[in-house]
């Protein structure tokens, strides 16, 4: 049944993720445990592993910690954010608690990962490293408690009336914005592939407009068929009456890796690194079920497109909009979902609360957030983002000669991959003549990653990645990404190496060698080999 997961497979996938995380014990220990205490913790954890990793008991455990404690000073999130460096002492928040973890970090080497959460909430880190969700770790953590978080700041936002961006959600400190208004940010690359499922708070954010503030209890979704003029209004509770489908789908911005393409020749657009991509479980009603109820089915309509409008609007009151071909929308295996949950929780505001359309295998721009209206039509959306943006062009086309009507809107994305560890310029240790390299690979259109090739000499010689990890979905419904790990040999005596990666999908498509030949003025579809230069240490 493609990727429409039953409860059963959902759990087996969750288990798989636990196994994945337990393979990371080294990293986890280095991240959160004090030197001496760490070993003891790890042993205890191993004994208790089964009990501590059950989902239900986990929630109970978490409820006990981070509660309000009488007699402690109160701090705001702004106070917490002033403590993000060792020299200022490092503070983090967890639920109602504020913690000074400076001494905790000082006690162990390799604490740099938790520093990425410094000045913000540690919650998403605990979903990355599920082992932290054990009473032993949390007891230890509670010892570093210094205060209570101001009640207004427990998951809340700051208001200022004049600014259209005054009611934005609070974002995690680890998301470093490339633009604040509208808010656009990606997580640090080294956290991206630590888990097959990207935690909600670390998922890249790409907003074109202010985030609308929608009351889910009065939320309405309009669905109309242009030809018959039939219209239907669905509230959230109506949407929830349809069978609930869960799929794992990667969403990627067309501009992911633009910062590499722009080095060949300047392009216009946000300078994304390699992390404008994330993988989540999305649950909701299937679009084809909702349309079927209105008599719109394969063979019963001559419409060609399904348009989506967001509830986010520009100063002229025009909403964000995009469209997809009707074939994708009506195909029960197309898995297009009117999603109200992201990784088992209500979709966070930045990602489309309360409802967003998930169009798996298709470029991020068509996965419209804060969905307000669906229009079944003979025409594509006439929104700017469908007509005059998110299109590819030949390398010779510049801003003087470009005709946006000439290229089709990007829908299914081509195969792409990136190296997330080690990072550019890093000095890495060579063990038995080998290096460990890790990253992601993904292809649009439900194509599965079947192989990942890694080179340590700039692409002269290649070796296959040893481990490919993905959910169980098969071609052509493999909407989720693949995390890969490779142990690759380096030449004896070399002091530096250029690593590169290319992935192969289930249609044997692979990536172009360089950016020169795929350069385009908007810097989209930047899927050339990812190259990372490193220094080698014995």
The contact set with ligand MTE (CB under 6 A) reads 203-209, 251, 253, 310, 312, 320, 350-351, 364-365, 367-370
Q: Among the residues of 85-188, which ranges form H helices?
A: 102-106, 112-115, 123-128, 135-142
Max Cα–Cα distance, the chain, nearest Å: 73
Q: How many whole angstroms separate alpha carbon 96 and alpha carbon 384?
A: 43
Q: Which of 5, 94, 253, 286 is catalytic?
A: 253
The count of residues interacting with Mo ion (CB under 5 A) is: 4
The 228-267 site mask, x for binding Mo ion (CB under 5 A), equals: -------------------------x--------------
The verdict on 96 binding Mo ion (CB under 5 A) reads no
CB of 346 to ligand MTE, least distance (A): 14
Is there a contact between 353 and 214 (Cβ–Cβ < 8 Å)?
yes
Task: Pick between residue 153 and residue 389 the one whose CB is nearest to ligand MTE.
Answer: 389
By a kind-dependent CB cut-off of 5 to 8 A, residue 370 interacts, out of Mo ion, ligand MTE, none, with: ligand MTE
* Stretch of 73-81, 126-134, 361-369, 494-502 lying at the interface with Mo ion (CB under 5 A): 361-369
- For Cα atoms 343, 365, 155, give the angle at the middle one, nearest 5 degrees: 40
The verdict on 438 binding Mo ion (CB under 5 A) reads no
In 415-440, which positions are buried (b, 16+ CB within 10 angstroms) versus exposed (e)? bbbbbbbbeeeeebebeeeebebbbb
CA dihedral 436, 106, 131, 20 (to 10 degrees): -10
Q: How many whole angstroms separate alpha carbon 77 and alpha carbon 439?
A: 33
Task: Pick between residue 125 and residue 385 the one whose CB is nearest to ligand MTE.
Answer: 385
The verdict on 360 binding Mo ion (CB under 5 A) reads no
* Active-site annotation holds for 224: no
Task: Pick between residue 367 and residue 485 the one whose CB is nearest to Mo ion.
Answer: 367
Beta bridge partners of 234: 221
By a kind-dependent CB cut-off of 5 to 8 A, residue 351 interacts, out of Mo ion, ligand MTE, none, with: ligand MTE
CB of 476 to Mo ion, least distance (A): 23
The verdict on 206 binding Mo ion (CB under 5 A) reads yes
Output the residue with the shortest Cβ distance to Mo ion.
Answer: 253
Task: Pick between residue 365 and residue 375 the one whose CB is nearest to Mo ion.
Answer: 365
CA dihedral 23, 28, 34, 36 (to 10 degrees): 0
Task: Pick between residue 342 and residue 490 the one whose CB is nearest to ligand MTE.
Answer: 342
User: Which whole-number Å values give the CA distances from 384 to 116, 316, 396, 404, 428, in the listed order?
Assistant: 36, 13, 23, 10, 45
Q: How many whole angstroms separate alpha carbon 265 and alpha carbon 281?
A: 37
Structure tokens given for 423: 């990072």
CB of 44 to ligand MTE, least distance (A): 38
By a kind-dependent CB cut-off of 5 to 8 A, residue 208 interacts, out of Mo ion, ligand MTE, none, with: ligand MTE
The 14-53 site mask, x for binding Mo ion (CB under 5 A), equals: ----------------------------------------
By a kind-dependent CB cut-off of 5 to 8 A, residue 66 interacts, out of ligand MTE, Mo ion, none, with: none
Q: Which of 132, 171, 286, 366 is catalytic?
A: 132
280 CB-contact burial (10 Å; exposed 0-12 / middle 13-18 / buried 19+): buried
Is there a contact between 459 and 529 (Cβ–Cβ < 8 Å)?
yes
Is there a contact between 146 and 100 (Cβ–Cβ < 8 Å)?
yes
Q: How many whole angstroms separate alpha carbon 164 and alpha carbon 377?
A: 32
Is there a contact between 140 and 93 (Cβ–Cβ < 8 Å)?
no
* Active-site annotation holds for 305: no
* Active-site annotation holds for 390: yes
* Active-site annotation holds for 253: yes
Task: Pick between residue 129 and residue 204 the one whose CB is nearest to ligand MTE.
Answer: 204
CB of 88 to Mo ion, least distance (A): 35
> 76 Cβ partners below 8 Å, 6+ apart?
149, 150, 152, 153
Q: How many whole angstroms separate alpha carbon 373 and alpha carbon 355?
A: 11
By a kind-dependent CB cut-off of 5 to 8 A, residue 434 interacts, out of ligand MTE, Mo ion, none, with: none
Q: Quick one: which of 273, 360, 364, 439 contacts Mo ion (CB under 5 A)?
A: 364
By a kind-dependent CB cut-off of 5 to 8 A, residue 168 interacts, out of ligand MTE, Mo ion, none, with: none
Q: How many whole angstroms separate alpha carbon 173 and alpha carbon 120?
A: 5
User: Which whole-number Å values give the CA distances from 39 to 32, 46, 389, in the listed order?
Assistant: 11, 11, 53
By a kind-dependent CB cut-off of 5 to 8 A, residue 368 interacts, out of Mo ion, ligand MTE, none, with: ligand MTE
CB of 339 to ligand MTE, least distance (A): 11
Task: Pick between residue 410 and residue 428 the one whose CB is nearest to Mo ion.
Answer: 410
Task: Pick between residue 234 and residue 252 the one whose CB is nearest to ligand MTE.
Answer: 252
Among all residues, which ones are annotated catalytic? 108, 132, 206, 253, 390
Chain contacts with Mo ion (rule: CB under 5 A)? 206, 253, 364-365
């Amino acid at each position: 049944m493609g990727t429409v997961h039953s409860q059963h497979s959902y759990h087996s996938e969750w288990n798989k993720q636990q196994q994945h995380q337990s393979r990371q014990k080294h990293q986890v220990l280095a991240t959160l445990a004090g030197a001496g205490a760490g070993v003891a913790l790890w042993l205890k954890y191993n004994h208790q592993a089964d009990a501590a990793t059950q989902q239900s008991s986990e929630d109970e455990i978490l409820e006990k910690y981070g509660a309000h404690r009488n007699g402690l000073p109160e701090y705001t999130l702004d106070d917490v954010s002033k403590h993000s460096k060792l020299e200022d002492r490092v503070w983090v928040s967890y639920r109602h608690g504020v913690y000074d973890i400076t001494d905790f970090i000082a006690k162990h080497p390799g604490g740099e990962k938790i520093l990425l959460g410094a000045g913000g909430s540690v919650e998403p880190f605990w979903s990355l490293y599920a082992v932290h969700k054990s009473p032993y770790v949390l007891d230890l953590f509670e010892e570093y408690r210094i205060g209570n978080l101001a009640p207004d700041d427990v998951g809340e936002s700051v208001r200022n009336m004049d600014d259209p961006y005054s009611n934005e959600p609070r974002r995690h400190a680890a998301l470093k914005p490339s633009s604040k208004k509208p808010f656009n940010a990606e997580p640090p690359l080294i956290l991206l592939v630590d888990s097959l499922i990207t935690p909600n708070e670390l998922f890249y954010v790409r907003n074109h407009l202010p985030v609308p503030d929608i009351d889910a209890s009065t939320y309405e979704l309009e669905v109309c068929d242009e030809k018959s003029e039939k219209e239907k209004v669905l509230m959230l509770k109506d949407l929830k009456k349809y069978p609930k489908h869960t799929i794992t789908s990667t969403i990627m911005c067309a501009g992911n890796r633009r910062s590499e393409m722009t080095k060949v020749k300047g392009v216009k657009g946000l300078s994304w690194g390699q992390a404008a991509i994330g993988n989540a479980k999305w649950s909701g009603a299937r679009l084809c079920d909702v349309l079927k109820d209105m008599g719109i089915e394969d063979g019963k309509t001559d419409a060609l497109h399904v348009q989506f409008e967001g509830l986010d609007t520009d100063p002229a009151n025009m909403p964000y909009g995009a469209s997809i071909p009707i074939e994708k929308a009506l195909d029960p295996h197309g898995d297009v979902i009117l999603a109200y949950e992201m990784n088992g929780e209500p979709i966070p505001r930045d990602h489309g609360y309360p409802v967003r359309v998930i169009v798996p295998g298709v470029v991020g721009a068509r996965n419209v957030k804060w969905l307000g209206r669906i229009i079944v039509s003979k025409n594509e959306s006439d929104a700017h983002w469908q007509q005059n943006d998110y299109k590819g062009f030949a390398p010779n086309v510049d801003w003087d000669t470009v005709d946006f009507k000439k290229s089709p809107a990007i829908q299914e994305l081509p195969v792409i991959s990136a190296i997330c560890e080690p990072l550019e310029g890093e000095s890495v240790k060579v063990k038995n003549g080998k290096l460990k390299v890790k990253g992601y690979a993904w292809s649009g259109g439900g194509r599965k990653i079947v192989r990942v090739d890694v080179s340590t000499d700039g692409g002269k010689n290649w070796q296959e990645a040893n481990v490919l990890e993905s959910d169980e979905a098969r071609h052509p419904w493999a909407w989720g990404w693949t995390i890969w790990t490779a142990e690759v040999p380096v030449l004896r005596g070399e002091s530096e190496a250029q690593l590169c990666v290319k992935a192969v999908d289930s249609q044997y498509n692979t990536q172009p060698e360089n950016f020169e030949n795929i350069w385009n003025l908007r810097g989209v579809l930047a899927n050339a080999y990812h190259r990372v230069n490193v220094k080698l240490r014995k």
